[in-house]
Amino acid sequence: MASESPTRLLITRHGLSEHNLRTDVYMGRSPEAQLLPAGREQARLLAARLARGGPVQRIVCSSLPRTLETGRVIGEVLGVAEVAGEEAFWELSKGQWEGRMPRRNLPADVQQALDADPFGFRYPGGDSYRDVAERVGPAFERWVAASAGQTVLFVLHGDVMRALLYHLLRFAREKIGDFVTDPCALTEVLHTGGRYHLVRFNDGSHLDG
């Protein structure tokens, strides 16, 4: 009996957007943030790379504007007419901190709580990485099951990618902050034999010009 063809899962972070320029404070979900011209160019460069690697049958995105636009720019180049938006892939909400809380010099008790449990720390009025993993994991598995043997591109957010990689790889929870991804860099995972295999992580070679 012939073995089942692997499902190729391409995962990227949206292109550079308005909220990425705010490095002084925590941003998080920022639902109104739009792609910048540089972000659209990053999406086109990623699309050109993917076009050289064989057909992509499906594009699935967080349904926030910056991810949807990234997916649509890529889809236009690849000839994928339908880009599916998925609310379960929305970015981690940092609640009351978004656009307000400085990244440096947090109150000592808050910094201690964040350092003690980065995976379980829930931002005031928002999410924890645990919350995100619990909603992202089942949604991702549903799309994988519906796309067996195909190549699927997921356009997500940085914190969502961290939570997803935890779901797939089960690394130590205290390492959640180590998985930093760049806009429109490429992470690739194969699903075969019921298991996930990491092929590449945060590969931005197509963005180097």
pTM: 0.95
Spell out the domains of the chain, with CATH numbers in brackets: 10-203 (3.40.50.1240)
In tens, the pLDDT along 161-194 reads 999 999 999 999 999 999 999 999 999 999 999 9
Are 152 and 60 spatial neighbours (Cβ–Cβ below 8 Å)?
yes
Indicate the pLDDT class of residue 4, thresholds 50, 70 and 90: confident
Residue 141 CB partners (closer than 8 Å, separation 6+):
none
In tens, the pLDDT along 100-157 reads 999 888 899 999 999 999 999 999 999 999 999 999 999 999 999 999 999 999 999 9
The SS3 call for residue 132 is: helix
| Cα 84 off chain centre by | 15
CA–CA distance from 37 to each of 17, 32, 69 (Å)? 9, 16, 11
Residue 202 CB partners (closer than 8 Å, separation 6+):
180, 181, 182, 185, 186, 187
Are 74 and 184 spatial neighbours (Cβ–Cβ below 8 Å)?
no
The SS3 call for residue 47 is: helix
Q: For the purposes of burial, counting CB atoms within 10 Å of the CB of 162, is it exposed (0-12), middle (13-18) or buried (19 or more)?
A: buried
The SS3 call for residue 41 is: helix
Token reading at 27: 């941003």
Residue 205 CB partners (closer than 8 Å, separation 6+):
none
Q: Residue 155, CB half-sphere, CA atoms under 13 Å: how many?
A: 31
